[in-house]
Amino acid sequence: MRNLITLEDMIIKSVEDLDEDRVLKLATRALNSGMEPLVLLDLVKEGVKRVGILYENQKYFIADLIMAGIIFKEVMELERVKQQFHFDDNKKMGKMIIGTVRGDLHDIGKDIFRGMMEANGFETIDLGVDVTKEEFLKGTIEHKPDIVGLSGVLTSTIEAMKEIVDAFVAAGIRRDVKIILGGNHLTKESCDYIGADCFTNDASLGVKLCKKMLGKI
Ligand code: B12
């Protein structure tokens, strides 16, 4: 147990230090010794959160944020982590369309949530990043999803998310879909302001909320 705690701390610290090689070595060692991929991703998330704080405090710069993003994506590419996201080919839970909203290029959290939805039997359509209200409307009319997922981490995405929900209301399709928001900055108040059905900053909880909204649990 003592060793496991040490390994967890080392993973967080090596992400914080942006030591790419060490992160990948430690992550591989952790997975080989039985760590759940989702636990590993939470540790990496904690590490990049620290990178974000160092950036805010001007100890790190934009190149360091880029590096944190690269490291996160490399961990997501490790075979055992990828397997976590692709075990259910029988997509009958429902259909979701998802994207990171206008003005925001952060896609790591979106990709994790999309992967977890797929692993839980949802068919997903990913519109990518910096997605406008017009693109969400077009995609929704074309694919007829049960759920629309709006992702964003920048504070400014509150307005972009509201624009999208307002566009759905104006087009008369708001009641045809459930809308879930994801991002660390979201609160109950912002969710109510945006007019979505629910929000979360935890991808696992997001999957549960989607199942609940469709009456699958
Ligand atoms: C990596 C990173 C980047 C990378 C992104 C790479 C990529 N491909 O995504 C790059 C370098 C591009 C980047 C750019 C910028 N970034 Co940046 N970035 C980060 C950093 C360090 C990590 C983000 C991340 O991936 N976290 C890990 C993921 C797993 O967490 P997550 O996104 O929250 O996702 C989880 C949940 O929210 C949820 N979830 C996510 N989406 C969805 C969707 C649904 C539907 C559901 C249900 C759930 C869900 O599930 C996920 C797993 O649990 C954060 C720091 C931080 N604290 O997050 C800053 C941070 C987000 N960035 C920040 C800033 C300021 C910027 C820039 C403006 C910097 C600049 N001056 O250019 C630009 C903006 C570019 C743009 N237009 O988007 C600020 C945002 C401040 C704010 N309040 O708005 C942060 C918080 C750093 C800081 N502390 O200052 N960034």
Please work out whether the CB of residue 127 comes within 6 Å of at least one atom of ligand 1: no
pLDDT (0 to 100) of residue 6 = 86
Please work out whether the CB of residue 191 comes within 6 Å of at least one atom of ligand 1: no
Q: Which two tokens stand for residue 35?
A: 């760590």
Cα separation, 137 vs 155, whole angstroms: 22
Query: What is the pLDDT averaged over residues 3-28?
Result: 92
Residue 194 has pLDDT above 60, yes or no: yes
Residue 1 has pLDDT above 60, yes or no: no
- Residue burial 14-40, b: 16+ Cβ < 10 Å; e: rest: bbbebeeeebbebbeebbeeebebeeb
- State the Cα torsion 69-15-186-211 to the nearest 10°: 80
Residue 191 has pLDDT above 80, yes or no: yes
Yes or no: say if 148 and 178 are a contact pair by the CB < 8 Å rule.
yes
Its pTM surpasses 0.85: yes
Q: How far is the CA of 217 from the centre of ligand 1 (A)?
A: 31
pLDDT (0 to 100) of residue 161 = 98
Residue 168 has pLDDT above 90, yes or no: yes
Residue 170 has pLDDT above 90, yes or no: yes
Mean pLDDT of the residues in the chain: 94
166: number of Cβ within 10 Å:
14
The CATH class of 94-213 is: alpha beta
Residue 54 has pLDDT above 90, yes or no: yes
Read off the pLDDT band of 85 (50, 70, 90): confident
pLDDT (0 to 100) of residue 87 = 64
Please work out whether the CB of residue 183 comes within 6 Å of at least one atom of ligand 1: yes
Yes or no: say if 196 and 180 are a contact pair by the CB < 8 Å rule.
yes
Please work out whether the CB of residue 155 comes within 6 Å of at least one atom of ligand 1: yes
Q: How far is the CA of 155 from the centre of ligand 1 (A)?
A: 10
pLDDT (0 to 100) of residue 83 = 87
pLDDT digits (tens, 9 = 90+) for 60-84: 999 999 999 999 999 999 999 988 8
Atom of ligand 1 at shortest range from CA of 199: 47
In this predicted structure, which of 86-90, 110-114, 137-141, 189-193 has the lowest mean pLDDT? 86-90
CA distances from 185 to 85, 134, 151 (A): 25, 24, 11
Atom of ligand 1 at shortest range from CA of 98: 45
CATH of 2-84, one of 2.30.30.100, 1.10.1240.10, 3.30.1330.10, 3.40.50.2000: 1.10.1240.10
pLDDT (0 to 100) of residue 88 = 65
Please work out whether the CB of residue 54 comes within 6 Å of at least one atom of ligand 1: no
Give the strand pairing for 178-182 and 198-200.
Answer: parallel
Query: What is the pLDDT averaged over residues 43-47?
Result: 96
Burial class (CB in 10 A: 0-12, 13-18, 19+), 188: exposed
Per domain, the residue ranges of the chain are 2-84, 94-213
pLDDT digits (tens, 9 = 90+) for 126-157: 999 999 999 999 999 999 999 999 999 999 99
pLDDT (0 to 100) of residue 91 = 72
Q: How far is the CA of 141 from the centre of ligand 1 (A)?
A: 29
